A and B are shown apart, each in its own frame.
Chain A
Amino acid sequence: MARLARLDLNASELDGFRNDLDAILTYMEKLNEVDTRGVGVTVHTQAVTAHLRADELKESQPLQDVLANAPHHKNGSIVVPKVLE
């Protein structure tokens, strides 16, 4: 699970989280008391649908400004370790 979340936890962290998550998930089991047969899901509290904007060409943020936050960049691109050998 940690690997899936892209976290590298050591043994003592894993133990601690296991205990915490056990307690929390056990608490969450109280939802099983609720009869939800035929109940729809709520993923959003708004009755309206998302507003779409017109598909217009607009200026984006200046590349140099955006790159200023990148940990490593070169020639206008962000640099990361090699993905393919």
Chain B
Amino acid sequence: MLETARRYRRDGISPVKTVRDLLSAIEVEPYNAFISYDEEGALLVAEKAERAIEKGSEEPLLGLPIAVKDNICTKDLPTTCASNILADFAPTYDAYVIERLKVRGAVIIGKTNLDEFAMGSTTTTSCKGPTKNPWDITRTPGGSSGGSAAAVAAGLCAGALGSDTGGSVRMPASFCGITGLKPTYGTVSRYGLVAFASSLDQIGPMTRTARDAAVLFDAIRGHDPQDSTSLVEGYAPLSLNGHDLTGVRIGVPRAFFGEGLAHDVERSVRYAQGVFEELGATIVEVELPHLAYGVAVYYIICTAEASSNLARYDGVRYGYRAGAATLIDTYLNTRTQGFNAEVKRRIMLGTYVLSAGYYDQYYRKASQVRSLIVKDFAGAFEHCDMLLGPTTPCTAFGLGEMLDDPLSLYLLDIYTIPANLAGLPAISIPCGFGDTGLPCGLQLMAPALREDLLLGASIAFQDVTNFHQVRP
């Protein structure tokens, strides 16, 4: 993003030409990263930006082509959630984050593919077909924000927005070799983000560099009265200088390096740990005793919230409606035909764990263990300033792999889920390449509202490494 902004000014590159070239590239892109785009609207904004830049405007986002995950509402433009049930849905309003980007003069270059309703880790459950990883088109880009990750990695946009409920920004960022930030719960308004699991969902930036992530995050955060969980905070602008890591304590949870972690990912993460030490950080070992329960807690809470949130798709007010003689059959047929298998599976699971006879055993128990996970983090942050570990247990796998084994797919989220359960900020940055030449991701986590620390440390890391500059 900063590079594109520089080229607009230093090299006199035209925003209109840049946007037009990208739209041509998006039309024929082989990754299925995009679901839709609005050529006319994008060019109109680009023309305005071009004139403002000619007049000397220094607004960094002016004319920057930003891709947006298709579960974020864009006024009058299709927002499908990659689901047949919203195939023809065009919102009547912009999400808060879209308003913010438009005010700053950014160009919404297109809407990107995702797992249906953001439920998945592969971007293969999309009703629009799977997205392919630009590093190897036979592999998954990760998910659920796989379209945004692939678009950034392939250079089809300057930056992108994703959403992260259990790792959906960080995981595809890791698989596609880009930077992805999951902000503190409440810093970015969820107004206009189609709800999946409301106590976990956050919108986050997906970019090539940590500096770009800081610029995009700065643009989209802020208090929004339209989201009752939006924090009332006055945010100071983020520094684009690397954080001085001298004396910073980085905690390494032993549990992050246990069974199930691929050796090539571990090697890359340990290398990155060494880089941070060279930059002056002190490594301390910490414990997160309840980490092993994160996946079980998460899939109870997120499916419970999802089953409730997705009850609104009844074929009455908007979206797909299946014909039927009675209202109850309208609901049944609409939902049966409108949702694909993974969404149905999660609705069923959520309905089960919330049902009268099982509520205490599952939902209540999970909410209690969630408290213990929150406490684990508080304890760990008494001994360190940040936590470091892998983002994912492995590098990108084949497109068809594991699809018939939901539990194994759920376990891929083991390192990313805890930050969502505790509402903490976390970032994934490229830290090396695995045995097959695919990118590996490093995850840093910090106490609430310490994105400055995550971004500052990531910028410092990227100033002395070049993993983020390698292109597919």
Shortest Cβ distance from residue B31 to the other chain A in the assembled complex, whole angstroms: 29
Shortest Cβ distance from residue B317 to the other chain A in the assembled complex, whole angstroms: 6
A-contact 0/1 string along B325-338, CB 8 Å cutoff: 11101111101100
Chain A residue nearest in CB terms to B295: A27
Q: Are B332 and A6 in contact (CB under 8 A)?
A: yes
A57 contacts partner chain B, Cβ-Cβ < 8 Å: no
A75 contacts partner chain B, Cβ-Cβ < 8 Å: no
Assuming the contacts A24-B407, A50-B228, asked whether A36 and B369 have C-beta atoms less than 8 A apart, the reply is yes
B296 contacts partner chain A, Cβ-Cβ < 8 Å: yes
Q: Are B374 and A45 in contact (CB under 8 A)?
A: yes
Q: Are A69 and B318 in contact (CB under 8 A)?
A: yes
B293 contacts partner chain A, Cβ-Cβ < 8 Å: yes
- Chain A residues whose C-beta falls within 8 Å of the C-beta of B329 in the assembled complex: 81
B residues whose Cβ falls under 8 Å from a Cβ of A: 88-90, 92-93, 185-186, 199, 225, 228-232, 290, 292-293, 295-297, 299-300, 307, 311, 314-321, 324-327, 329-333, 335-336, 339, 341, 344-345, 347-349, 351-352, 355, 362, 364-372, 374, 406-407, 410, 421-423, 448
Chain A residue nearest in CB terms to B86: A69
Q: Are B316 and A28 in contact (CB under 8 A)?
A: no
A residues whose Cβ falls under 8 Å from a Cβ of B: 1-2, 4-9, 13, 16-17, 20-21, 23-25, 27-28, 30-34, 36, 39-46, 48, 50-53, 61-62, 65-66, 68-72, 78, 80-83
Shortest Cβ distance from residue A33 to the other chain B in the assembled complex, whole angstroms: 8
Assuming the contacts A17-B348, A46-B185, asked whether A9 and B422 have C-beta atoms less than 8 A apart, the reply is no
- Chain A residues whose C-beta falls within 8 Å of the C-beta of B332 in the assembled complex: 6-8
Assuming the contacts A6-B335, A9-B344, asked whether A45 and B185 have C-beta atoms less than 8 A apart, the reply is yes
- Chain B residues whose C-beta falls within 8 Å of the C-beta of A25 in the assembled complex: 349, 352, 362
Chain B residue nearest in CB terms to A18: B348
Question: Once the chains are docked, how many angstroms separate the CA of A2 from the CA of B225?
Answer: 37
Assuming the contacts A50-B229, A78-B316, asked whether A5 and B351 have C-beta atoms less than 8 A apart, the reply is yes
Shortest Cβ distance from residue B173 to the other chain A in the assembled complex, whole angstroms: 22
Apart from A40-B368, A45-B448, list 7 A-B contacts with CB within 8 A. Answer: A1-B355, A17-B344, A28-B300, A45-B199, A69-B88, A69-B319, A78-B316
Q: Are B228 and A31 in contact (CB under 8 A)?
A: no
Residue of B228, B316, B349, B351 near A4 (CB, 8 A) is: B351
- Chain A residues whose C-beta falls within 8 Å of the C-beta of B355 in the assembled complex: 1, 4
Nearest 6 A/B pairs, CB to CB: A45-B423, A71-B321, A41-B367, A69-B318, A36-B368, A42-B370
Q: Are A24 and B299 in contact (CB under 8 A)?
A: yes
